[in-house]
Structure 1
Amino acid sequence: MKQYTTLNLTEQGTVANVNLQWPDSGILNETLLSDFIGLMDYLEDESPCTLIVFQGLSTPQQQTRTAPPVLDHCSKWEKFLQRIERFAGASIACIDGLCAHFHFQLALACDYRVATTRSVFQAPAVKEGFIPGMSVFRLAKYTGLGVARRLLFTGTPCSAKKAAKLGIVDRKCKAKNFEKAIMESQQALMPIHPEVLLNTRRLLNESFASTFEDAIGHFLAAQNLCIACQDCPAK
């Protein structure tokens, strides 16, 4: 298994726990990106895990990005997020504090978000003079266009309570109950049938742009594939 510099990976059965060692959420660099690419290579090709749990998606205080992002880094980052979204399994983002910049972008790419009541979400990139990645695409699918515009244009902090109302957070809890809430969220997603989850996620994403006539054809094709895979061994 690859040795990582900016994250710790532990596996428990079919659960991959990824603890990020990434205190500055406004910075991407080659070391981070190499670790993320290596992580997905391993999880896709070698690991039996069908659930990825990301922890460490928060910082102790507000940070301001002082340098523009490197375009090549942005491209590699978005390819990593796409791999999370196309993973044959589920993903959970766990937030306990300020979730901003690239931490927030990763949280939006996950299937499920658990946050403590002291958590705050913020996308300050536009106010700093940069586009906040493909949050411009993902955020509106949770909140609607008007709310996404307001959050991105103003960089306004969003509490966990409000984020839950907007659909950004799936489960909120007190900080003392964080680990319990994470475990219960894992159980809520079990059992995971990778092919079914992968196709359901894809159909949901396509529902924003597909006509009903196209969508039902895609559904029937995916359903046929899932039924055919019922007797296939798990990943």
Structure 2
Amino acid sequence: MEDDLDVEETPTIVTDVAANTALSPELTSSVLAAATAAEDTAARPGTCVVLRIAGARGGRRFDWPGPVGVGDVTKWEAALRRLEQAPAPIVALVDGDAYGPAAELLLVADYRIMGAGASFSFAASEAGVWPAMALHRLAAQVGIGRVRELAVQGRPLSAEAARACAVIDAVAEHGAEAAAIAAGRALFRSCVGSEIAIRRRLVLDAVTTRFEDALGAHLAASDRTLRRVRAVS
């Protein structure tokens, strides 16, 4: 992965996450650190979180989450949820295969990049695919059929197939990773962090909320936008 990320004129929070081992306090802490940094800089327009995720290499698969307790898993899921609710756009790039924790982390991002030739898959063991909240996220985002393929049948998706079905947003050739990140960041250059967090929540809640129940949240978001526009005009 390239290390010369150009932060240009917009504030950028770059976090490297080693998502190629079993669950550990260090892995959870690295995700929490990205969320905390995003929360601390929410007032700065255009702030973007860039996650550079080290995934599995060479087809290697490892035990996920590993020899941990449900309390450790709860902390991991809470860290992902906190990042998912962060008041800043999230651009994520996986270096290697998006397997297990890398796949789970990628699904909380607003713009997702994988390398050409890599694969996307959930972790699995003799008991089957790990029942992470990532299954819920993916079902909400791309539908039950794709989740059945990944979670029930246990089949991986190539990066190219993941792009074709909108699991990810871009496939980067080797050497073009920084350009892919820059393209993702450019989409959010004028974003206000608190506002993108609201839109993200509205989208995520859409598949589980009745229209009548969702209306109030959407009207509240509309009112916020109208008041913000009036304040700057």
Same fold per superposition (TM over 0.5): yes
My pick for the range that moved more, 106-115 or 141-150, is: 141-150
Of 49, 61, 85, which residue of structure 2 is paired with 1:63? Answer: 61
Residues 161 and 185 (structure 1), Cα distance of their counterparts in 2 relative to 1, 3 Å cut? same
My pick for the range that moved more, 211-220 or 195-204, is: 211-220
CA RMSD after TM alignment: 2.6
* Alignment partner, residue 188 of structure 1: 187
Show structure 1 runs of 5+ residues with no match. 1-7
CA distance in 1, matches of 2:85, 2:26: 23
Contact 1:127 1:153 in 2 (8 A): no
Task: Give the counterpart letter for 1:41 in structure 2.
Answer: T
Show structure 2 runs of 5+ residues with no match. none
TM-score (norm 1): 0.83
Larger RCO (CA within 8 A; separation ≥ 6): 2
CA distance in 2, matches of 1:230, 1:126: 52
CA distance in 1, matches of 2:126, 2:147: 14
CA apart distance, 1:141: 2.1
Task: Give the counterpart letter for 1:88 in structure 2.
Answer: P
Task: Give the counterpart letter for 2:39 in structure 1.
Answer: E
* Alignment partner, residue 144 of structure 1: 143
Divergent runs of 4+, >3 A: 10-13, 46-49, 66-69, 126-130, 229-233
My pick for the range that moved more, 167-176 or 99-108, is: 167-176
* Alignment partner, residue 88 of structure 1: 87
Residues 17 and 115 (structure 1), Cα distance of their counterparts in 2 relative to 1, 3 Å cut? same
Secondary structure of 2:114 counterpart? strand
CA distance in 2, matches of 1:225, 1:208: 23
CA distance in 2, matches of 1:122, 1:79: 21
2:25 is aligned with 1:30: yes
Of 50, 53, 68, which residue of structure 2 is paired with 1:53? Answer: 50
CA apart distance, 1:219: 0.9
TM-score (norm 2): 0.84
* Alignment partner, residue 103 of structure 1: 102
